[in-house]
Structure 1
């Protein structure tokens, strides 16, 4: 099969996503995949972009580098050369829809040229949450099948609030199918498209194989146990800051280790004044397994809101892949997918009880069960399920 992916996420960054991983796996299995990186905005020509990846894209355009490049066998990446205009300031959605047609045509014509160059006579178009730039791509590109991917509550973010909540259902309705990484998202999508399927989330199993001999990182070795650890973005949109403060104060003998970049609220929080809380900063993905391996308990203290209630937290798979006991905030996804392999809690009192249990009950047999369960979520299995659903259309 031939696939074309459009997404909010670029494929050439340190951060992977459902679409980048699925694209890589489909190519590894022998399917031909064109991954379209996000176009640059016109303002990027006049204001130096913060992202080094956008800056590199802009440099490639100005130096007239080939926009279509082979990334791996069966996998190509397109760097669109035409800048797009921003119309999100327009308050009236019908006018906004008329204006974004110009962006969609500009974007679509570049994709058409790339598919011709690759010899894609027909292809399946996969749209990963690219609501505005790709709203009309089904009509412009006329793909063999059009698949919309729903994997996060994007439309609740400020940028999307004006037009996203009304336009995303329209994209779902005209898609041939919607694939979702959580059961809650699947239930929501089925209101707009009966061909809505759950595929779950995946992780790179190979990154967590043969890790039991990894040495403890130097900055972690200095921290006494038991180590209660979290890895990921430290942002109050997704994490319960007050809960962390409460459990850290309640258990001064435990060391709370937080790895990731902080938002302003975390950076200015009381956590920094607590002697048993340790901020280790950002760590590269390749280094994460060594830290996780030497945590005693891994936690995911999510705050409950529209952004977290239905999401599928990838970090849970990574924690389990190393056999770690996991304590996480109880959400629909945690109950439906992970309840048998994690300790779920709501509020600081329950967190303390569940962390105590996780420390006391941990055994080699339980660790092996966690690892075996996590491996079911390999990208190979997720891609196979994705193809299986496509074949029913």
Structure 2
């Protein structure tokens, strides 16, 4: 926002909990960046009946531990100008209902409970008005504009959740309606921004921010012992290993056709990923999940970094932050071709099938590169959170100055 507008109050509703330590999060990074110049209330995803009753997900246990760490307080200032609200109320688990007026009544009931908690937190902070940013939640966030009456309501579209059955059940109807009624749709990918523009002309591409401070090749010299024992060349991937986003068949083809290459996979697996099949190959190694501060050293030990992304409704508009992390380490990269990945085509080899994927990796290993390590690093550092959040607040500022201000 322009300097004349001063500090603004932001309320952010999120499906990515503040207390989650192992996974990166767009919305947490966005909240921290906003808090450098504004006041931010980050609303943790409220628990529902199923989360409270289920021990498998661990969501309720992690939330209880977070609240306990903060001496039982549900509203805490975790960082300067940044408060986290962990709602006390349990929401109903209504997603199983048919997509009828009964579901709409139940969803508004949940929205009212959430809005009441937010309203109390805002009042306790002494805020008279605020901008509301909804982190891609077309269900719990559907009625918040009417219930909270923010100065500006922003829908942050960062993923095509409608490709997931849970969201599709009601979101297929509700997300277009929500995008139509919000004041602004902001997206981190050109593909998603173009999709949103079908429903709301006030749809903007704000780019993707990345926190790259840890990804410094100059400080990642010590090779971890578990990867040092793996022969070269090492073809590596670091991130969540899930069949929803990664092409396990592609990885298998690469490993089988090039037994002289070592494929190294770092990250937690889920049931949808062909872990057992890949683990049976002699040149595929799973190193398991690593903490964020460990990842740069593993990336530094790779010869080629890959993103074997499967192309589906979930990933077609996805902006893979790991590409910037790879490039920030100065590493050569081969990735699946998507509309969003065209942004990287001066620095990343893009492939449309297994044959091309293998050929591009071979090109890199044979010294055929698109750009120098220094050029890759410089390009990655163009994608900062300051730039992304700046584009967002500029768009919000234009709306604020064009409408009467509340007091």
TM category, shorter:
over 0.9
1:215-274 CA-partner distances (Å, limit 9, x unpaired)? 001100000111100011112211111111111111111111011112235355432121
1:211 Cα offset (Å):
4.1
- The correspondence for 1:216, drawn from 223, 234, 249, is 223
C-alpha distance in 2 between matches for 1:219 and 1:173:
51
Conserved 8 A contact 1:260-1:283? yes
C-alpha distance in 2 between matches for 1:357 and 1:268:
28
Indicate yes or no: 2:112 matched with 1:99: no
C-alpha distance in 2 between matches for 1:235 and 1:10:
20
Q: 1:319 to 1:61 in 2, by over 3 A?
A: closer
- The correspondence for 2:82, drawn from 75, 83, 88, is 75
Q: TM-score, normalised by structure 2?
A: 0.92
Indicate yes or no: 2:309 matched with 1:308: no
Indicate yes or no: 2:294 matched with 1:287: yes
RMSD: 1.9
- Give the corresponding residue for 1:351: 357
Indicate yes or no: 2:63 matched with 1:20: no
Indicate yes or no: 2:367 matched with 1:339: no
Q: TM-score, normalised by structure 1?
A: 0.95
C-alpha distance in 2 between matches for 1:189 and 1:300:
26
Indicate yes or no: 2:165 matched with 1:158: yes
1:7-27 CA-partner distances (Å, limit 9, x unpaired)? 111122112322111001111
Structure 2 stretches lacking a partner, 5+ long: 1-7, 400-407
C-alpha distance in 1 between matches for 2:370 and 2:257:
28
SS at match of 1:319: helix
Q: 1:213 to 1:362 in 2, by over 3 A?
A: farther
Conserved 8 A contact 1:300-1:328? yes
C-alpha distance in 2 between matches for 1:285 and 1:60:
20
Structure 1 stretches lacking a partner, 5+ long: none
SS at match of 2:156: strand
- Give the corresponding residue for 1:6: 13
Name whichever of 34-43 and 256-265 sits farther off. 256-265
- Give the corresponding residue for 1:369: 375
Name whichever of 373-382 and 263-272 sits farther off. 263-272
Instruction: Note the 1:22-101 alignment, pairs <5 A.
Output: 22-28=30-36, 30-48=37-55, 50-51=57-58, 53-58=59-64, 65-101=72-108
C-alpha distance in 1 between matches for 2:56 and 2:219:
40
